[in-house]
Structure 1
Amino acid sequence: MNIPVSVQDLPFRSTSLGRSVRARLQFRKSGSRTYLADQHTPHPFHITRPFAISGDPEGMATLYLQSSAGGLYHDDDHHLCVEVDDGACAHVTSQASTIIHNSHQSSSRIDVELKVGENGWLEFCPEPAILFPGARLTSTLTAKVHPTSKLLFCDAQLCHDPEGDGATFNELDNKISLNNEEGETFYVDRAVVRGENWFGATDGRQCAGTFLVYDAGNAALISSALEGCIAGFDPGCVYAGQTHLADRSVVVVRLIATSGANLTNAMQALWSAIRVALTGKTPMPRRK
């Protein structure tokens, strides 16, 4: 006798359609200009043509990352390597946030590898990842830097419940590490949080983010500039704190925010403060 079974009671079965994708961007310097020397961007990665923005450091190339997919789904495994060769200067951002969909009994993975050569300058500033109910994300960012290079990047997540019924993501496993030229790790940041613990860890706030800067020659200057910037935040919207690891030339800002808009505005303010400290010029916002 056949007994009706609701769709909700059926076990989830992976369709094994997860995409394992490896993408690469390489920037080089020619004269005073930085150009995209090599790129491999298979589906769903897509990029704009690099362009220059008035007021940026001389020769800096700005490039937008885009996606032709609707986000990351279960079993998706995306790896992106961004290389900035000696003397090159690049700003890489994303057109929009990346949605992490319900992973069911599986997971999604984002693996970012950054390499900055001698006197290179890389700003890697993607929009936050949006964690939908049921999402399970493993996010790894690894950077290799030279003692004379400049590196700054944003890493942020947003907990989103579109139905408003209190559902949360499953788990976020997030790791950031910095390595020197010899491959030795000198900074590691690791956090694993379950969705049901998110709002307890963030004091009820929807968003969390990290803004990290490596610059051996200007870390103290940058730390001072960021301290002044943080002092201007409304703690009811954005709560932030800074750590300056002088022995490693690393400055880290941690933020929790009540909304994605507040988080984005805070990240842009921090980036702008660094640019002013290093160049004396307020950068033009990247339009999204």
Structure 2
Amino acid sequence: MTVHNQIVNTPSRRRAHSVGNTAPELARYQDEPPQMHSGAVGKSGYLRLGFEKRANRSVLADMERRVPSLVQKALYWDEAMPQLPCVTMISTSGCVLQGDRLATDVNVGVGACGHVTTQSATKVHSMNANYASQVQHLRIEENGYLEFMPDPLIPHRDARFITDTQIKIHPTATAIYCETLMSGRKYHHVDERFGFDVYSSRVCAETLEGKELFVEKYVLEPKTESLDAVGIMQTFDVFGNVVLLTPSEHHDRIVERVPAVFDLKAGVASGVTRLPNHCGLIFKVLGNDSGEVKAQIRAFWRVAREEILGVSLPPPFLWK
């Protein structure tokens, strides 16, 4: 594995510093923190992961990191895919703070595969100045396969967070990308449930040549408009969003195996639909408990693996 130590000014790092500057939903949060200014050393995290195929397995061949972003050594704990390097991203600060600017680049080479996750839930702390931003660029080459499956994100009271994810993918490749949003620390204080100021998320995909495949963006401002309305969160507390980009030959079989669910008694609702340009599918799930939402996501993930790769998922870790 090659580890680079020089500071690089990549497009994702530049965008992490600028993505919130012109976002209308963050216009009133442009003030600088009275402590360290936004994007200062220690608050401008960067992580680059490069997966390549070597002989009969893939490896983490390239890595660069800047605090507070860090990554563990690639492990091969997935018994269903022993050739799959599994990488855990870590934050040395333990949380996301006001003024943080975080960027991640993941590159999957021709025929390579990789699994990327987090050590635990991402906590976005309360803020009284500015906001935090996250930019993620994922690139999957011909016949590549990427699973980007972080744990849930928990926005604390008065948090402001914007995340922007761009996926560039070859028509023969597969990428499964997940984001799970909690309502907050609802058992900590009554004002923590949907007590954040802004959560803004944009996910887009395009071909390696730059042709746009789809764009989805949603902005949540629960102090301006209640999220408990029908058509938004209704009575639910957890939202899961899974994007599956894969060749169209797999779409019908996956859709047939993923029925729509709406069970208020069990506290879960989910469904799958097709993305434009025949580029893939998107699966959404609502729940009252993060464990149930994770279970629904794993069920969809398992179906996707079985239909695309012909292998299943191993049992989840007890601590996950």
Q: Distance in 2 between matches of 1:142 and 1:191?
A: 15
Asked if structure 2 preserves the Cα contact closer than 8 Å seen for 1:12 and 1:104, the reply is no
Q: Distance in 2 between matches of 1:13 and 1:27?
A: 37
Q: How does 1:86-235 map to 2 (within 5 A)?
A: 86-161=110-185, 163-167=188-192, 168-196=195-223, 197-200=226-229, 201-216=232-247, 217-225=249-257, 227-228=258-259, 230-231=260-261, 234-235=263-264
Q: Secondary structure at the match of 1:198?
A: coil
| Unaligned ranges ≥5, structure 2 | 1-30
Asked if structure 1 preserves the Cα contact closer than 8 Å seen for 2:44 and 2:67, the reply is no
Asked if structure 2 preserves the Cα contact closer than 8 Å seen for 1:57 and 1:279, the reply is no
Q: Could you tell me how far 1:268 is from its partner in structure 2?
A: 1.6
Q: Could you tell me how far 1:116 is from its partner in structure 2?
A: 0.2
Q: Secondary structure at the match of 1:166?
A: helix
**Over the residues paired in the alignment, what is the CA RMSD in angstroms?**
2.1
Asked if structure 2 preserves the Cα contact closer than 8 Å seen for 1:173 and 1:191, the reply is yes
Q: 2:63 matched to 1:34? A: no
**Length-normalised TM-score, structure 2:** 0.80
Q: Distance in 1 between matches of 2:49 and 2:243?
A: 21
Asked if structure 1 preserves the Cα contact closer than 8 Å seen for 2:239 and 2:285, the reply is yes
Q: Secondary structure at the match of 1:155?
A: strand
> Cα–Cα, structure 1 residues 73 and 67, in superposed 2: closer, same or farther, change >3 Å?
same
Q: Distance in 1 between matches of 2:128 and 2:292?
A: 30
Q: Secondary structure at the match of 1:29?
A: strand
Report what 1:6 is aligned to.
Answer: none
Aligned residues: 275
Q: How does 1:2-13 map to 2 (within 5 A)?
A: 13=33
Q: Distance in 1 between matches of 2:111 and 2:222?
A: 42
**Length-normalised TM-score, structure 1:** 0.88
Q: Could you tell me how far 1:13 is from its partner in structure 2?
A: 5.0
Q: Distance in 1 between matches of 2:86 and 2:302?
A: 15
Note the alpha carbon deviations across 1:100-159, whole angstroms, 9 max, x for none.
Answer: 111223111111110000000001000111011000110111100001001111012111
Asked if structure 2 preserves the Cα contact closer than 8 Å seen for 1:219 and 1:251, the reply is yes
Q: Distance in 1 between matches of 2:87 and 2:188?
A: 34
Asked if structure 2 preserves the Cα contact closer than 8 Å seen for 1:55 and 1:281, the reply is no
Which of 264, 281, 302 is the matching residue for 1:251?
A: 281
Task: Answer with 211-220 or 89-98: which moved more.
Answer: 211-220
Report what 1:242 is aligned to.
Answer: 272
Note the alpha carbon deviations across 1:141-194, whole angstroms, 9 max, x for none.
Answer: 110000100111101211113542224000111100001111122100010110
Q: Secondary structure at the match of 2:110?
A: coil
Q: Could you tell me how far 1:54 is from its partner in structure 2?
A: 4.8
Q: Secondary structure at the match of 2:312?
A: coil
